[in-house]
Every structure is written in C-alpha cells, then in structure tokens.
C-alpha cells in the first residue's frame, strides 16, 4: 500500500505501531523525538498474533480505545473490504472513518520530519536535514538492504548456501558501518539523524533475538566494541531506549515465527541491564540534538511496561 498522501491535521490520525516490530519502533522513536504526541496518537498492539495479524490484546477488553477495533486487520478492511493487502505495522489510521491511510514504513517517518513540521515540539531536532539528504538516502538504502533486512535474510534463509551468503553479507556491512562510526559519534557526523534511528532498531534487537533466533552469530553486538558503544549511546538518549520493550521483542519473534522456533520457547536471557552501562562515546564530541533539545518525559500511558525495560 503506497503513501497516496493524506492531509496533515492534528488530532486526526492514530499511529498503530507494535513495540516488537523494528519498522514500527522507528516511528515511535521519531514521533517522540519530534514531539508529535499531541498531533498523532498511538495504538499499541501486543507482541504476538495469529494468521490474522496484530491484535490489541494488551488493551482493556482487547480493543483499541480510540479505534474500537480488536485487530489492525479491521482498519485495513475499512480501507479495502475486498482485498486487504499485507497487514503490517506501522500503519496510520484516519480516526474519522477508521481506515488505514498508509503503511508505507519507509515514508511515514520522513513525512513526520517534513510534512508535520508545524506540529513539531519546540527544540525538535532536524532528523532529515536538507544538506544531508543525498548522503542519508544512500546510507539508509544501504542500512535497509544490508542490515535491517540483512538479519531477516539470515533468519529466513531456505538453504545452507543462502544462509552462508546472507551471513557474510550482513557482517561485512556491520564491519563497514563500524569503521564509519569509529571516528564519528553518529552516522552523518555530530548529530542524530533518521539514519541513526534506522540502524538503532536493528542493533537493539541483535543480542536479544537476531543472534540466536536468526543465527546472526559471528559475534554478539556486545562483542563489536564500536557498534556496541554507539548503540548504548543512542539507547541512553531520551527517545530511544524508552521506546524499547525487550520482553515484547523476544515474545514476538520467538512465538510468532513457529517455522524457525517450533517449540515457541522464549529465552530468558540476555541480561538487558548492560544497555545502561557507560559507553564513552561523548569523547567523540557532537551533540545528539544539534541546535535542538532532548524530548521531555514519556507521556503517561505510553511508558514501556516494567517487565520490558532494560532495568527489569
């Protein structure tokens, strides 16, 4: 489903974004960094689902309190009763008619930066600066094909040969990005941009899920010093770690992907408190939000549940 353009209007749309999903996690981070909480509300499906996809099972009565539906599929059917396309999160739903307006995950966050500017908070960072767009577009394409999708290519490889190729391709890319980050605090230099958000959502899932479940195990993230320090630096920056629910992330992958984990047993480790350890990246200089400021506290009702937090 492409992004056919939807009129920007504060209070009209609901972002449906499961915390477990890396593509949805992106939208939660960007929404919070830009301070779009008042303009765009959020609905949060639980981590597991059946063939009919994501449900609002964590909400009271199992229905989203605003959309009043038990599953995101209902909002897709509102848009097209005959042939619901791929039912995925993130999705933006128009609360006027309850229909999905877009699930174009690559565009949603760029729209937050560019189309929703008048509703950004004071001090919102510029996550997609004009002078960096060419460089960022190229970099984000690379991160998408080689890393964001790279871990899935390993996990869902149908043959030893395909897995071997995917494994080398992924770790070659991680080595390349690690080298880039040796001397720069963030991917494009001194400030956080959307490129960092996109890399972060894969890195934060790496040791909890991808290393075991997807067999991306040349090293753990925590054994790759530059990437590990970079990821912790972001995790500890307001807007990043406070959107991450490790419990939901693990449940989603290990329970939903029955084909690669038929017992559906969810591992108890790793210890996530290591995410809060000193990272030392401040020595590289830079300032996370550039001319802007950090977002304030997480909105009441949008906090990560205690059992999913790094200090759980």
Ligand X SMILES: N[C@@H](CCC(=O)N[C@@H](CS)C(=O)NCC(=O)O)C(=O)O
Q: State yes or no: residue 210 binds ligand X (CB under 6 A).
A: no
Output phi, psi for 42, to 5 deg.
-130, 140
Calculate helix-pair angle for 105-114, 194-205, nearest 10 degrees. 140
Residue 37 or 104 having the CB closest to ligand X: 104
Total of chain residues touching ligand X, rule CB under 6 A: 10
CB of 167 to ligand X, least distance (A): 21
Residue 46 or 125 having the CB closest to ligand X: 46
Burial (Cβ within 10 Å: 0-12, 13-18, ≥19) of residue 169: middle
For residue 105, give both structure tokens: 């995950």
Bridging pattern class, strands 40-43 and 91-94: unpaired
Q: State yes or no: residue 53 binds ligand X (CB under 6 A).
A: yes
Candidate list 6, 142, 144, 152, residue with the active-site label: 152
Q: Quick check: 47 and 18 in contact, CB under 8 A?
A: yes
Q: State yes or no: residue 289 binds ligand X (CB under 6 A).
A: no
Q: State yes or no: residue 16 binds ligand X (CB under 6 A).
A: no
For residue 74, give both structure tokens: 């209902």
Q: Which stretch binds ligand X (CB under 6 A): 4-12, 17-25, 166-174, 197-205?
A: 17-25
Q: State yes or no: residue 48 binds ligand X (CB under 6 A).
A: no
Q: State yes or no: residue 21 binds ligand X (CB under 6 A).
A: yes
Q: Quick check: 166 and 154 in contact, CB under 8 A?
A: yes
Output phi, psi for 215, to 5 deg.
60, 35
* Spatial CA neighbour of 28 closest among 234, 276, 201, 287: 201
For residue 79, give both structure tokens: 């848009």
Q: What DSSP state is assigned to residue 295?
A: -
Q: State yes or no: residue 23 binds ligand X (CB under 6 A).
A: yes
Residue 89 or 181 having the CB closest to ligand X: 89
Candidate list 21, 76, 230, 254, residue with the active-site label: 21
Residue 50 or 311 having the CB closest to ligand X: 50
Q: Draw the binding track, 65-104, toward ligand X (x: CB under 6 A; -: no contact).
A: ----------------------xxx-------------x-
Q: Is 152 a catalytic residue?
A: yes
Q: Mind telling me the catalytic residues?
A: 21, 152
Q: Which residues bind ligand X (CB under 6 A)?
A: 21-23, 49, 53, 87-89, 103, 105
């Amino acid at each position: 489903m492409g992004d056919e353009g939807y009129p920007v209007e504060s209070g009209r749309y609901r972002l449906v974004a499961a915390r477990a999903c890396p593509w949805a996690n992106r939208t939660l981070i960007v929404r919070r960094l830009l301070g779009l909480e008042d303009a765009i509300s959020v609905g949060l499906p639980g981590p597991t689902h059946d063939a009919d996809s994501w449900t609002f099972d964590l909400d009271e009565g199992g229905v989203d309190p605003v959309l009043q539906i038990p599953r995101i599929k209902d909002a897709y059917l509102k848009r097209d009763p005959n042939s619901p396309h791929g039912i995925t999160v993130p999705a933006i739903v128009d609360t006027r008619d309850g229909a999905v307006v877009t699930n174009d995950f690559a565009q949603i966050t760029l729209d937050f930066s560019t189309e929703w500017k008048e509703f950004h908070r004071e001090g919102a960072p510029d996550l997609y600066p004009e002078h960096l767009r060419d460089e960022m577009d190229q970099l984000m394409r690379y991160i998408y094909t080689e890393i964001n999708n790279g871990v899935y290519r390993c996990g869902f490889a149908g043959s030893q040969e395909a897995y071997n190729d995917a494994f080398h391709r992924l770790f070659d890319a991680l080595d390349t990005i690690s080298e880039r980050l040796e001397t720069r605090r963030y991917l494009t230099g001194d400030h956080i941009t959307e490129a960092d958000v996109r890399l972060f959502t894969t890195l934060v899932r790496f040791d909890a899920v991808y290393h075991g479940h997807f067999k991306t195990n040349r090293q753990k993230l925590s054994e790759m010093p530059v990437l590990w320090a970079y990821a912790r630096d972001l995790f500890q920056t307001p807007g990043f770690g406070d959107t991450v629910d490790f419990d939901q992330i693990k449940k989603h992958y290990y329970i939903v992907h029955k084909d690669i984990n038929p017992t559906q047993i969810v591992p108890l480790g790793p210890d996530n408190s290591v995410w809060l350890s000193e990272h030392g990246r401040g020595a590289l200089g830079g300032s996370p939000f550039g001319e802007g400021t950090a977002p304030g506290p997480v909105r009441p009702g949008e906090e990560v549940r205690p059992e999913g937090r790094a200090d759980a």
